[in-house]
Amino acid sequence: MYHLLKGLHEYLTRKEEFSVIILGLDGAGKTTLLEKIKTLYNDVPGLPADKIAPTVGQNTGKISLPSTILQLWDLGGQKGIRSIWPRYYDDCHAVVYVVDAEDRERLSEGWEVFDNVLSAPQILGVPLLLLANKQDSPQSLSVEEIRNDYEEWHQRKMESARRRYGEEMELEHRRERIASLDVMGVSALEGTGVRTAVDWIFIRVQNSIRRDEPL
């Protein structure tokens, strides 16, 4: 009887596990974000900012939320490492793309990489959150400025792509996703906005599972 009750308790209290990948250029603050999330949600604090080195490959973390476990994958953003990202697309339940809102010189590069992520068929329908990081810096662009900069960059790309046969339909799909794209401002260093971002992920992965359940 004990084992039966124990098994029933484990069944009733088990938590669904979701995989979340954190992408962005090197230096955008992905690892700092991951460590801040671990500090805020786990008993054991994450690495302090001055101990964080550039990611070569991946860093991982896991946090427990009501009825849910989030497995977080911080993937290296250096140019030579980005080729591994698609290996994680099939099994992810949400994507977080981090932009350094302070580094204006690399925004175009960041949008080009972000556009490649958007075009991956494996993540169509997967919740996607764009984070404008380093909002603690007075030199950083605001959330609205980041959104406008990306939309302007994308518009220029569309105008160029119209000259090439067969790309309009693909860009139309991307345009629809961009229109509904959620952009949030965070400071991974100070933790501002991080809980709001995690709440967003939690709600979206729960909703995506409900949509996939048979009627």
Contact 175/159 with Cβ under 8 angstroms? no
Angle separating helix axes 143-161 and 168-179, nearest 10 degrees: 170
Known binding positions for Mg(2+)? 31, 55
Known binding positions for GTP? 24-31, 77, 133-136
Known binding positions? 24-31, 55, 77, 133-136
Q: Which residue has the tokens 């230096």?
A: 27
Contact 21/75 with Cβ under 8 angstroms? yes
Q: What is the distance between the alpha carbons of residues 100 and 134, in angstroms, rounded to a whole number? A: 6
Q: What is the distance between the alpha carbons of residues 214 and 152, in angstroms, rounded to a whole number? A: 40
DSSP structure string for 166-214: T-HHHHHHHHHHHHT-EEEE-BTTTTBTHHHHHHHHHHHHHHHHHHHS-
